Each structure stands twice: as structure tokens, then as C-alpha cells.
């Protein structure tokens, strides 16, 4: 992927932590001008310092993707300063609450839908419009293995990730003749701070019990690394995947084979 991203403008939503942060740093290493967004100003500025060591023109724009006005401001800022958008990785998402559907709350449902589903939808609208104006571009959405099948304790999370995959495939068809490619990544269990917080909150089970159960689900017998997802995102955004669109790339250590 040498020079694939040099001086290209890349947006990473949710770029202040986890998979989003790792992908943002990976894009910066490849010479991209990286714009990260997130809800935490202080954390965003801390991560931006790391990114700017690799790509000085990069920036952080605060944005809560559940707020349509803030999403609009995010893209207005990109347009005003850069006048282009080459690639986007929609990695932002609310943290999952693991519990049976009957124990889930309407507040958690509303948060997941607002950030994961509606936020991704709103970002894709702006991204596609910006890329149409330029005549090409690539978008990668962060779905999950839960978006391809059901999962005990993850009904809301699974529903939102199914929706993201549906939007990805539908938009990919709409944009196939416009040199805009749209794909998704479907990570399995990835070792991030968010995963640890989720494992600590499973009702009636200890963190270690949940961790051990998770390992039993993975044929490769280990959790994935954020870098392993980031590599896939960069490939899908690069010219090396020029004939790939509407695809859901599974990164799960073999879980889907069972």
C-alpha cells in the first residue's frame, strides 16, 4: 500500500479510542491527513498529539454523532479546511450492554440506535455527497460478527450491526457506478478497553468467567488485536481492493466457521 494514502484526507469517527484510534494512527503512518472525531475534547487532543507526530496536518473535531447538528458541523469543517474527503472509517459506536433482551433498558436501546445506526447513516450521507463531488472515494463501516448472526445477551448491539451491514450493501449498490466503494469490517472479540468494560458488566458473571467463555468461542484461542482490524480497514480503503464493494470482511479468528 505504499503511497496509497499520501496527502489523502481521511476521516475516522470514534478515532479517540479502541479500533478507531488504532486505525487513525495507521492511516497517519501511511502519510494521510487524518481527521478524528469524538465526544471527549480532552481525550481527542491527547490522541491528536500522537497522530500529528506522524502527520502534522491532522486534526481533531469534536462531534457527538447522535446529534445531527454536530454531524453537519463536522463535515462543514472538513469541507471548509480541506475541500475534499478521500476515505472514511465510521468506527464510532456506543458500548454494548450484555444482558438478555428482557433485561435491557430502553435508554440503552435509544443510545445504541442514535450512535451506531443513526450516526453511521448520517455520516454516510455526508461522506457520499462529498465523494460524489470529487468523483471517487472509499468508505468502511465498523460492523461486527454480531451483525451477521444472533448472540445471546447482545440483541440491541446485534440489531444495530445488522443495520450497518444492510446500509453498507445498499449504499454500495447505489454508488457502484460512481467510483465510490463502500464496505464493512466485522470484528469478532477484539482486545480493547471497551471490551474489558463490557466484560466487567455482565450480570451474574465475573470478568474472568466471561473472558474464559469468550476464548472458548474462538478457534485461534486468543482475542484479536485492534491493529489486525486496522490493517483490514486500510486495505479496503486502498487501491489494492479496487474491485471490492458491498463486502463484509470478517476478522474473528475463525468464530464464524463454527
Residues annotated catalytic, as ranges: 157
Q: Mapping DSSP to helix (H, G, I), strand (E, B) and coil, where does residue 35 land?
A: strand
Among all chains, which residue has been given the C-alpha cell 457502484?
176
Measured between alpha carbons, how far is 134 from 86 in angstroms, rounded to an integer?
8
Q: Where are the alpha helices (DSSP H) in the chain?
A: 18-29, 41-52, 68-82, 106-112, 120-134, 155-175, 193-199, 207-216, 226-237
Side-chain half-sphere CA neighbours of 71 within 13 A: 20
User: What letter would DSSP give residue 190?
Assistant: B
Residue 37: name the closest of 52, 53, 58, 6 by CA.
Answer: 58
Measured between alpha carbons, how far is 176 from 199 in angstroms, rounded to an integer?
39
Q: Cβ(110)–Cβ(153) under 8 Å?
A: no
User: What letter would DSSP give residue 95?
Assistant: P
Amino acid at each position: 500500500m505504499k503511497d496509497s494514502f499520501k496527502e489523502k484526507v481521511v476521516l475516522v469517527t470514534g478515532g479517540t479510542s479502541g479500533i478507531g484510534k488504532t486505525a487513525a494512527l495507521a492511516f497517519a503512518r501511511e502519510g494521510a491527513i487524518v481527521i478524528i472525531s469524538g465526544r471527549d475534547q480532552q481525550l481527542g487532543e491527547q490522541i491528536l498529539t500522537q497522530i500529528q507526530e506522524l502527520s502534522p496536518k491532522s486534526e481533531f473535531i469534536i462531534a457527538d454523532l447522535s446529534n445531527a447538528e454536530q454531524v453537519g458541523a463536522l463535515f462543514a469543517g472538513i469541507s471548509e479546511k480541506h475541500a475534499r474527503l478521500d476515505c472514511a472509517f465510521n468506527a464510532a459506536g456506543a458500548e454494548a450492554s450484555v444482558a438478555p433482551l428482557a433485561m435491557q433498558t430502553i435508554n440503552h436501546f435509544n443510545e445504541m440506535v442514535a450512535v451506531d445506526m443513526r450516526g453511521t447513516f448520517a455520516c454516510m450521507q455526508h461522506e457520499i455527497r462529498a465523494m460524489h463531488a470529487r468523483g471517487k472515494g472509499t468508505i468502511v463501516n465498523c460492523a461486527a460478527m454480531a451483525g451477521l448472526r444472533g448472540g445471546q445477551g447482545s440483541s440491541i448491539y446485534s440489531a444495530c450491526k445488522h443495520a450497518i451491514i444492510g446500509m453498507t450493501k445498499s449504499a454500495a449498490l447505489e454508488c457502484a457506478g460512481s467510483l465510490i466503494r463502500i464496505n464493512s469490517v466485522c470484528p469478532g472479540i477484539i482486545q480493547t478497553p471497551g471490551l474489558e468494560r463490557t466484560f466487567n458488566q455482565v450480570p451474574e458473571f465475573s470478568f474472568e468467567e466471561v473472558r474464559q467463555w469468550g476464548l472458548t468461542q474462538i478457534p485461534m484461542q486468543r482475542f484479536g488485536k485492534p491493529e489486525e482490524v486496522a490493517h483490514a480497514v486500510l486495505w479496503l480503503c486502498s487501491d489494492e481492493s479496487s474491485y471490492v464493494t458491498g463486502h463484509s470482511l470478517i476478522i474473528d479468528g475463525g468464530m464464524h466457521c463454527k
